[in-house]
Amino acid sequence: MGTSSFLVNLAGWIPAVVFPSATGWQLFKIVKSKNAAGVSVLTWLLFGIANIGLYVYTEKFGSFQSIFGFLGTAMLDFLIVGITIYLRPKKHT
């Protein structure tokens, strides 16, 4: 593997680590505090959709970097959406 191939491979691991780590941190904060005030459901839903789109766009379906970075993050995004909806104050009628 040449130097440029090594750098490209290394660059692929950056989003594979950063995206799920940042998203996981938000999820951890929500779960720990049991409070999703200020968390935008639409934003996290769109992040999830965008990550799936990027996974398809890259066409690297067997790549661990793509799976962790895009599909793994998308799952965490959708988990944030679900937990945020669950933690919303219930309206009394």
Instruction: Provide the terminal-to-terminal Cα distance of the chain, rounded to the nearest Å.
Output: 65
pLDDT on residue 53:
97
Q: In this structure, what DSSP letter does residue 19 have?
A: H
Q: How far apart are CA 26 and CA 18, in angstroms?
A: 12
Regarding pTM above 0.75, the answer is yes
User: What are the structural domains, with CATH classification, of the chain?
Assistant: 3-87 (1.20.1280.290)
Tens of pLDDT along the chain (93 residues) come to 677 888 988 888 999 999 999 999 999 999 999 999 999 999 999 999 999 999 999 999 999 899 999 999 999 999 999 999 999 988 776
User: Rounded to whole angstroms, how far apart are CA atoms 29 and 35?
Assistant: 8
Residue 91 has a pLDDT of 79
